[in-house]
Amino acid sequence: MVGVRDSVTQSSEFPPLLIENLSFQYRTREQPAIEDVSFTLHAGELLLVAGSSGCGKTTLIRCINGLVPRSYKGNLQGQVLLHGQDISDMPLSRISQIVGTVLQDPERQILGAHVFTEVAFGLENLGLPRDEIRQRVDETLDYLGIAHLRDRETFYLSGGEKQKVSLAGVLAMRPDILLLDEPLASLDPASAREALALFRRLADEGVSILLVEHRVEDALGIRPDRVLFMQDARIVHAGPLDEVMGLMDYRQVKLPAPVVMERAAKVPLPPFEPAIKPNGRDPLVTFEDVAFSYESGAEVIHGVNLTLRHGDITAILGPNGAGKTTLVKHAIGLLKPSQGRVLVEGTDTRKMSVAQIAHTLGYVFQSPSHMLYAPTVREELAFGPKNLGFSKEAIEAGVGEALDAVNVRALADYPPLSLSFGQQKRVSIAAVLAMRSKILVMDEPTAGQDYWNYIAFMDSILQTPGFAAILFITHDLDLAICYANRVVLMHGGQVVGDGAPSEVLADLDLLERCRLVPTSLLKANLAHLPETGRFMSAEALAHALVDSRR
């Protein structure tokens, strides 16, 4: 990477990373997080690691970057070798010069108040001269195409912008090995495509990359050199892309729609019937000419007129920084409009407290660390209902149903903040489910989720009686295709598209303007729309086509 990567020369005698018989069990857990893991990462290799949430992928990264056992305590066995040297013999400061890590949740990585100081943080800790620090920061921001963020406050960045800044802080250190833990989770589709192209470019320039990613279909587009598939703390498949993809279960890993359709057509389709029934009336949340500016002065949303009605399952899509989260925070009362008004069941939110609004709207934050604090998952789920005055019996029933809905009953007595990001995300959703709010609002509900859990909890949520409407912000076009009956597209702080998924998502020019990349599932649905009349999942589409051709 000219001008950005000029790492310390390492011996070519040894591979950048060698892992031998690695096992680790957290001292708070009964089962190993990873068990008997062995593999080699070669110079300039891009290695994709896939697997279900909680299978050990993040723990593997912690072992490589030295946080296990220095920060995360437990029983560690086996070896991690960097350029032939056991990291147990290396100080963390030395490891950090060789290994750079980008976390799933940028909120847990960003420390600086401004973008420049954030990217410069690691370089300052290396004791580099000020002029070199300034040069490296500017070159890295230019390389990533985010130089315009240089003087911005990190607090006001979108989730996707924060992820890019986190990556910049790591790349400025010029590591030999780059560990990417769900780096696409907060990125809009176009940004994700650009990020993946960047990772491929970095690998081609000699950086060794270990990419942990649930968005497997997206990652396949850059042809990773090898794939490791983990299950229950072990590597169960390893090898070239085409070989491993043929062994993956389409119900566990999100594969391209044509592959899923071919396999799913031979498997019975389980029944699915949403509990929410649209009636086209009953306004629940109304935005009337809403505009809003943060303290920085620039308008984030403006001219928004939108009504959410009973039965709407609404997906809000758009690029990073389009104002999606700001819009939703107005609905739940965390923000009040600078202009216009927001009505919740006919009442102006300026006249309601956040607690009053919570009876109607339950909100799942994009970052679970903003929500979780209790000693155990069970106590976390009980907190909201207690504050809303639920009876003991109602709390117990709601907590039990929520644990089952998102598949975390086995984790009920664990501390939420000790869980993986994907597990934390499901716990944060369960915490809102337990409150039994009339409208469920979720910000990036599938971020950090493996495909099986994402399908399971979305199916469960939509089949749970009691919700009048569901609203979710997502960068996952396929989530909207499979579950939404309404799509709202945002761009530049405005609503630029609103209607049925088969109408809004058929406008490919509009999608491009909103930085949405057509997926294989969208293409398949558009191709067969004359036969089906609506959008559906790859599995449902496969069966619909079989039925229509009989």
Residue that has been written with the tokens 């009691």 in this structure: 466
Report how far Cα 549 is from the mean position of its chain's Cα atoms. Answer: 38
Same fold flag, 17-241 and 283-516: yes
State if pTM tops 0.85: no
| Tens digit of each residue's pLDDT (9 = 90 or more) over 145-196 | 899 999 999 988 877 788 889 989 999 999 999 999 988 877 788 888 888 8
pLDDT in tens, 1-12: 434 444 444 556
Give me the mean pLDDT over the 134-149 stretch.
92
Is 548 exposed, middle or buried, given 0-12, 13-18 or 19+ CB atoms closer than 10 A? Answer: exposed
Residue-level pLDDT at 119: 96
CB neighbours of residue 221 within 10 Å = 14
Which class does domain 283-516 fall in? alpha beta
Please name every residue paired with 49 in a beta bridge, in sequence order, or none if there are none.
Answer: 212, 228
Per-domain residue ranges for the chain? 17-241, 283-516
Averaged pLDDT, 294-309: 88
State the DSSP code for 27.
T
Short-list 541, 529, 538, 462, CA closest to 500: 529
Query: Which residues are CB-contacts of 395 (< 8 A; sequence separation ≥ 6)?
Result: 382, 385, 386, 434
Structure tokens at 351: 């006249």
The CA distances from residue 189 to 123, 196, 230, 518, 530, in Å, are: 31, 10, 25, 9, 27
- pLDDT given for residue 156 in this prediction: 83
* Chain mean position to CA 258: 24
Is the domain spanning 17-241 CATH 3.40.50.300? The answer is: yes
Q: 230-274, pLDDT tens digit by residue?
A: 989 999 989 998 888 788 888 888 889 999 999 999 899 888 888
